[in-house]
Structure 1
Amino acid sequence: MPAEPWLLMYHSVTHCTEDPYRVTVAPDRLRRQLRWLKSRGLRGVGIAELLRERAAGRGSRLVGLTFDDGYADFTENAVPLLREHGFTATVFVLPGRLGGDNAWDPLGPRKPLLTEEGVRNAAVAGMEIGSHGMRHVSLPDADEATLLAETAHSRKLLREITDRPVEGYCYAYGDVDARALDAVRGAGYSYACAIDPGPLTGPYALPRIHIGNEDTALRLTVKRLLHPFRRRGMPDAPRAGVAR
């Protein structure tokens, strides 16, 4: 089994003409990307499932699919396509902004975020619900009270909304340092996703690769081939002794 699991990072799935942060993938493009994965014998799953399967010595054909920010279009556009292909995913949501919009982005269009009902609907559809913090705050810059709210309190709220364990955390902006990592681990998460965490790479700073609307079959093939050379090796399972 490859040492480096392939974790793909999506955000919004909709039609959009203005996309300065490259966070939007059109539904038709997502369908083609998922079809590309399936045609190669790969199956997209949420991160908790991916880590469990790898810990059991399986999972070599699994790809982790993540959707950051919890946009309302996740249930509207992404979930039907995921289910069409027999895939699942992890959606990282912001319980402090439910029913709001992406106010943290100074540029680009305002996009609605999932409501409580939307989060529950995603969970019922078989998707993993993870925390993206309360309000999309960079943890390395946060004071102690904010750090606690973004990690532990957001997990508590999501567990109350879904009535399910909340295993995963995702660092806003991909920002992570040792203090933030310790706070996430101390809040009881089993894993956390970053982007390019460098020497912090591990179960609480999983690297991911950005997938955008420009990623055709050829670009996906190149990204897949280059992946083992871009990522450091990481353990197959979360560290023991972490409460869920």
Structure 2
Amino acid sequence: MKPRIPILMYHQIDAPPPRGTPMRGLVVAARDFAWQMRLLKLMGYRGLALCDLMPYLRGEKAGKVVGITLDDGYRNNLEHALPVLQRHEFTATCYAVSSLAGKTNSWDASIGVPEKPLMTLDELRTWTRAGMEVGAHTRTHVDLTRLGTVAARGQIEGCKHELESALGMPVRHFCYPFGEFDKHVVDLVRGAGYQSAVTTQRGRAAVGGNLFGLPRVLVSRASHTGQFLLKLATAYEDQRGKGAVRHESV
């Protein structure tokens, strides 16, 4: 059986909104995130961005590592996650929506999710200057499987170009918006020059596995310490099925 590496999936690191708010489970309290990172350190894990994790995913290196990813590029990642990551000498990948930098998560407004600020391009530069990585999450956070080839390619390649131009560095890792992808989308992502793509499929990533369909370990508001440990070190998350995070009760 191939070794497996957990890639943690976070979204917002902030005070959770009121009960009943849609997608409330995807907002992890800052104190919980801080405790989770401290626990990783105490257990001997190295928290790594995708760029640092790649040799382990390919099987070129071995070690007690965990990937850390944050989707969408919320400003609260910079405010609450960055200091904690730096304290433990961890790195993380934040997947940014390039054309919405400095705006809000407007793609979820129609289902009642509160709009929260996304990092500006200057704040994304602050993130990378601190040793963190920015990955691509399309230009406007769209379901790529619903677009034609030209439009999908524009979202995928355009995001890479916009972020690389703003940050002055390569952007090599991708995240499928809403967790939606198919073979055609994968081919477009690969063709754009990305080295990996993460999904919302739950599970730990197999060493030597498909780098363009990487599963992740969901960390939600309700992930208590015991469950967090199970997700990291056992097949708990691998058995949670292949449903996208948007369709789960978290």
- TM-score, with length taken from structure 1: 0.88
* Counterpart secondary structure, 1:165: coil
Please report how far the alpha carbon of residue 62 of structure 1 lies from its aligned counterpart in structure 2 after TM superposition: 0.9
CA distance in 2, matches of 1:158, 1:17: 30
CA distance in 2, matches of 1:197, 1:141: 23
CA distance in 1, matches of 2:44, 2:202: 29
- Give yes or no for contact 2:50–2:67 (8 Å, CA) kept in 1: yes
1:157 to 162, 168, 187: 162
Give the share of equivalent positions with the same residue, in percent: 31
Q: Tell me what 1:40 maps to.
A: 43
Higher strand share: 2
Query: CA RMSD, aligned part only?
Result: 2.1
1:206 to 206, 214, 219: 214
Counting matched residue pairs gives 230
CA distance in 1, matches of 2:13, 2:202: 25
Q: Tell me what 2:90 maps to.
A: 87
For each residue in 1:131-155, what CA deviation from the matched residue of structure 2 results, as whole angstroms up to 9, or x when unmatched?
0011111111112232012111110
CA distance in 1, matches of 2:57, 2:191: 23
- Give yes or no for contact 1:33–1:216 (8 Å, CA) kept in 2: no
Q: Which runs of 4+ in 1 moved over 4 A?
A: none
CA distance in 2, matches of 1:204, 1:115: 27
- TM-score, with length taken from structure 2: 0.86
Q: How does 1:8-87 map to 2 (within 5 A)?
A: 8-18=8-18, 19-21=21-23, 22-55=25-58, 57-87=60-90
Q: Tell me what 2:246 maps to.
A: none
CA distance in 1, matches of 2:186, 2:197: 8
CA distance in 2, matches of 1:50, 1:231: 23
Q: Which runs of 5+ in 2 are unaligned?
A: 204-208, 242-250
Please report how far the alpha carbon of residue 107 of structure 1 lies from its aligned counterpart in structure 2 after TM superposition: 1.4
Please report how far the alpha carbon of residue 35 of structure 1 lies from its aligned counterpart in structure 2 after TM superposition: 1.1
- Counterpart code for 1:209: V
Q: Which runs of 5+ in 1 are unaligned?
A: 233-244
Q: Tell me what 1:98 maps to.
A: 101
Structure 2 residue 195 is matched with structure 1 residue 193:
no
Query: 1:43 and 1:205, CA in 2 relative to 1: closer, same or farther beyond 3 A?
Result: same
* Counterpart secondary structure, 1:226: coil
- Give yes or no for contact 2:72–2:94 (8 Å, CA) kept in 1: yes
Please report how far the alpha carbon of residue 91 of structure 1 lies from its aligned counterpart in structure 2 after TM superposition: 0.2
CA distance in 1, matches of 2:62, 2:167: 26
